[in-house]
Amino acid sequence: MAELAEAAHAALEHGAEAQTVQEYITHHLSYLTYGKHVDGSWGLAHTPEEAVNMGFWSIHVDTLGWSVFIGAAFLLFFRYVGKRATVDRPSGMQNFVEMIFEFVDARVAEGFNGKNPLVAPLALTIFVWIILMNTMDLVPVDWITGLATLVGEHGFGLEHMSFKIVPTTDVNITMGMSLSVFALIIYYSIKMKGLGGFLSELAFHPFGKWMLPFNLIIEVPTLFAKPISLGLRLFGNLYAGELLFLLIASMLGIFQLPAHFIWAVFHLLVIPLQAFVFMMLTIVYLNAAHETPDH
């Protein structure tokens, strides 16, 4: 382990000497991309330009892998605690998990007026999963990247291999989550109100059937703005936070530690806040999807 740490440190020092500030930031904001090369072969991209040329069907292996790993770890941990839960002598882990359950359940009770057993588990999953993915932003920016560079050079022939560990700084992850919520909104809107009721909400509200064109101009963009704002808000806040960490690391040199500490303390507020906002908006949107008009 000591030899591996020394090798990673040497790789970081070599990278710092060989890269400018712009190259350093670009490298850390790039993804480990797998897709189809211009010559028709499939594999990992060696440069950001190759990644762009792979097009829409390329996969960000790093952020996808980390999001799945974090989600699986969260589910296994909660299952482990649930299997060992007791009424007489609850453990500290059980109390912690129950506190999260009670917090989310209270938010669902406040914001959701319908009856749907899916909403509370969905809200819990969203809240915990996003917090865990956001928390990866507190890992020092060069630790995992340095190890990835070392592995990439010796194992895959990729010099300065990109490897991001914060899934919520990838718009594909955040928009994937928001579009999943949007699909549930459409599904329950049609299920609870019928297709005619759902379309009538878009066409006849808020000004009545005689103002149909104006209603559509208002309601249709509002509907599609929900997933876009939901995904981009989470992505923008975490991406900006990561970018500031990188600016501090690349420009302050040995003086970066105090600045990193100050920004990390502030970031401790951003991490749960963004998860809370995503969860609450999901609850509110699903509540609106379940509401049926009185007329």
Residue 40 located in a structural domain: yes
Which has the closest alpha carbon to 96: 78, 112, 118? 78
Torsions phi, psi of 118, nearest 5? -80, -30
Q: Which of 107, 237, 250, 287 is catalytic?
A: 237
What is the residue type of 256? Q
Q: Which residues contact 39 (CB under 8 A, 6 or more apart)?
A: none
Residue 198 has pLDDT above 80, yes or no: yes
Any catalytic annotation for residue 53?
Answer: no
| Reported confidence tier of residue 167, pLDDT bands at 50, 70, 90 | very high
Element (H, E) at 268: helix 256-290
Quote the domain boundaries for residue 65: 2-290
**How many Cα atoms sit within 13 Å of 204 on the Cβ side?**
10
The mean pLDDT of 41-58, rounded to a whole number, is 86
| Reported confidence tier of residue 294, pLDDT bands at 50, 70, 90 | low
Of the listed ranges 14-28, 86-100, 181-195, the one predicted with least confidence: 14-28
Query: For residues 12, 16, 18 and 23, what is the CA-based torsion angle, rounded to 10 degrees?
Result: 110
Of the listed ranges 91-105, 206-220, 222-236, the one predicted with least confidence: 206-220
pTM here is: 0.86
Residue 131 has pLDDT above 90, yes or no: yes
Alpha carbons 290 and 295: distance in angstroms, whole number? 15
Number of domains, the chain:
1
Of the listed ranges 63-77, 165-179, 210-224, 272-286, the one predicted with least confidence: 210-224
**The predicted structure's pLDDT at residue 293:** 65
Residue 295 located in a structural domain: no
- What Å distances lie between residue 42 and 35, 130, 231, CA to CA? 5, 31, 29
Any catalytic annotation for residue 287?
Answer: no
Residue 158 located in a structural domain: yes
Residue 237 located in a structural domain: yes
Residue 99 has pLDDT above 90, yes or no: yes
Q: Which of 189, 229, 250, 287 is catalytic?
A: 229
Any catalytic annotation for residue 229?
Answer: yes
Of the listed ranges 61-65, 152-156, 277-281, the one predicted with least confidence: 152-156
Mean pLDDT of the chain: 85
Alpha carbons 51 and 37: distance in angstroms, whole number? 9
Strand, helix or coil for residue 162: coil
Residue 51 located in a structural domain: yes
Which has the closest alpha carbon to 157: 4, 62, 54, 45? 45
DSSP letter at 206? T
- Which residue is listed with tokens 């996003």? 130
